[in-house]
A = this chain, B = another copy of it.
Amino acid sequence: MAHDDTTRSRTPPRRLTIEDVATEAGVSVATVSRALRGLPNVTPSTRDRVQAVATRLDYHPDPAATRLAAGRTRTVTLAIPSLSGWYFSTVVAGAEAVCADAGLEFQVIAVPTPEQRNRLLDESQRLERRTDALILVDVTIEPHQVESLERRKVGVATIGSNIVGHPSVCIDDELVGQLAAEHLLSLGHRRFAAIGGRPEGPMSFDVPDARWRGFRRTLAAAGVSVDDGDLHNGNFSLDGGYEAIAPLLDGPHPPTSVFAMSDEMAFGALIACRERSLGVGSDISIIGVDDHEFSRVVELTTIHQPVADHGSLVARLLIAAMADAARTATTTSATPGASAHDVTASVDLTGPVRPVISLIERSTTGPPNR
């Protein structure tokens, strides 16, 4: 009554190891290891045979054993202030897809506070053992932390900021501010307010600063002056946007236009305006940043950035950089001149990649009516 014990039995089937494959294929484990990883020094015929057996047995090397023996984890870890929210989740999705494609495990960790950020980054020892590389999304990192990761050969790539010598994707945030200012200015606005970042909030990334600089500079060039009192904290959230704008609307001297540094904050502002029966696009103009999926639902004028590309782009850059590093390491210590013909990875992966941004004019902005 022989039945397939490995699929029917109630007891856990013994996991098959490289040795099972070796025995079955009539070779040594070393050969199996080489064959399966596509290393040289294996006769094509034996390689094929080994691969056939492995496939038939449905063999997959144990990642833990591989890690322990080889020292590499084949996993990428992404750290991000939050996993929810449109921007963040879109970035995560992009990065995951690329990593999965590359056969890398994808781990993710939310670091909403500076404490958690440091707890993660200060333990490079721990990190090295868990991951081959780190993708930092709107997470700041200090020089000594970078250095520590470099020393431990942990790859690093960033979104929203950049580290010299490491791949990064970030838009020109000053330009964002400039485009917003130019648009509002061209419409005839002269009274502005801005809703921006979390000065004492969880993270301290410099995106909002740069946007504010660009905004302010452009206004100044047009002879309009704003000061830091015109910048309000909206925490990059819908509620934050609402809270930030409401008092202004109720105040004695409301702005005719507001630059919300994210669409989500702009949505909050929209609610506040509706509550007060203000005509958005006439009584008051609102411009956001992101081109959030739902911006067109409310016809929000905004500055588009290709968020979906951010994640996949860094992941690709990171993977290329890692491959590059690995190859350089072996190349350097083996055949110093071998890279002459190998221009494959000679694209520069260390400078920041700057996705193109553009103004999308919809109906929440218009000429001021007062």
Contact = CB atoms under 8 A, between A and B. Distances in A.
Given A12-B153, A93-B110, A297-B270, A105 B130 contact: yes
Given A10-B151, A271-B297, A107 B110 contact: no
Nearest to A67: B64
B148 A58 contact: no
Interface stretch (A121-129, A163-171, A198-206, A340-348): A121-129
Find the residue from A97, A100, A125 having the highest chain B CB count within 10 A: A125
Contacts of A153: 12
B296 A129 contact: no
Given A68-B68, A106-B109, A93 B83 contact: yes
A354 B49 CA distance: 52
B83 A238 contact: no
Nearest to A75: B107
A265 to B, nearest CB: 12
A125 B15 contact: yes
Contacts of A44: none
Interface string A64-105: 110110000101000000111110111011001100100001
Interface residues of A, number: 56
B83 A96 contact: yes
B15 A128 contact: yes
A253 to B, nearest CB: 26
Contacts of A276: none
Contacts of A10: 151
A62 interface: yes
A34 interface: no
Contact of A294 (B11, B62, B75, B267): B267
A10 B125 CA distance: 15
B83 A126 contact: no
Nearest to A92: B83
Nearest to A73: B64
A41 interface: no
17 contacts: A7-B148, A11-B151, A15-B128, A60-B123, A60-B129, A63-B64, A63-B129, A63-B130, A65-B68, A97-B110, A100-B109, A100-B110, A107-B107, A107-B108, A238-B293, A297-B298, A298-B298
